[in-house]
Amino acid sequence: MISFELSEEQKLIQDMARSFAADALWPRLRDTERDRGLPDELLAQAHEGPGVP
């Protein structure tokens, strides 16, 4: 039988993505919609990953 439950690693990734969205993306949503794209600094931050300032 197939399990559709996330693994612990997948849950961690999901939590990190949710935190990044809440902390970095949502507060600037109007700006990104107005400018029709993400600022370079947010893209860089997304690519850096967790634990990197």
Q: Is residue 36 part of a domain?
A: yes
Q: Is residue 7 part of a domain?
A: no
Q: Is residue 41 part of a domain?
A: yes
Which tokens is 9 given?
A: 């690693």
Distance CA 22, CA 28 (A): 10
The domain total for the chain is 1
Q: Is residue 16 part of a domain?
A: no
Domain that holds residue 32: 23-48
Q: What tens-digit pLDDT sequence spans the chain (53 residues)? A: 898 999 999 999 999 999 999 999 999 999 989 999 888 988 898 888 765 44
Residue 13 is predicted with a pLDDT of 92
Q: Is residue 32 part of a domain?
A: yes
Q: Is residue 44 part of a domain?
A: yes
Distance CA 39, CA 31 (A): 9
